Amino acid sequence: MIETLTVLTTLVLGLFAGSLLTEALLLVPYFRALSFDEFNRLHGEFGPRLYRYYAPLTISATLVPLAAAATTLLDYPRINLFAWLAAALVLVILATYVFYFRAANLAFAERRLDEPALAKELTRWAGVHTFRTALALCAFIASVLAVLGTIGV
């Protein structure tokens, strides 16, 4: 069971990190280059779709690593520190949503920002997104190392 959850963590975090990286490299620059009116129009169309994709992915990318780390306690004294590192990193990623992205995305959806404020917020959004993408990539690497430790490589 420990091995299965550890491998599942790597799969989920690979998909999650890859999705965030794709968003960072493709969607974020595209949205930042749009005019004010075009951004507001497209965000209304794409925002809900992105949410429907990322909400279950973010939940699974949080719960699966936490479950995998917790199961390593059953294998005492061989507690897998890389599994715990991945779990800690996904909690920080989740915190970026709770403390920043939820409010920022709501401001976009409700069109509460004027043109200068929107440009400033999109710059901040891109920076926080880059931070969480880097954390996701580190969590993925930690999960790969956890798998290698679990199978004894």
Torsion of CA 32, 36, 39, 42, to 10 degrees: -160
72-93 tens-digit pLDDT: 888 766 678 999 999 999 999 9
| Domain region containing 123 | 2-150
Whole-model pTM: value is: 0.92
pLDDT at 75: 75
Tell me how many domains the chain contains: 1
Q: Is the pLDDT of residue 1 over 70?
A: yes
Q: Mean pLDDT throughout 3-7? A: 90
8-56 tens-digit pLDDT: 999 999 999 999 999 999 999 999 999 999 999 999 999 999 999 999 9
Contact 40, 111 (CB under 8 A): yes
CA distance 113 to 32: 14
pLDDT at 6: 92
Q: Is the pLDDT of residue 149 over 90?
A: no
- For residue 122, CA distances in Å to 24, 93, 128, 130 come to 12, 18, 10, 12
- For residue 76, CA distances in Å to 52, 107, 148, 152 come to 38, 47, 17, 15
In the numeric block, the tokens 């890859």 are attached to 18
Lookup: tokens for 38? 């075009």
95-141 tens-digit pLDDT: 999 999 999 999 999 999 999 999 999 999 999 999 999 999 999 99
Contact 9, 72 (CB under 8 A): no
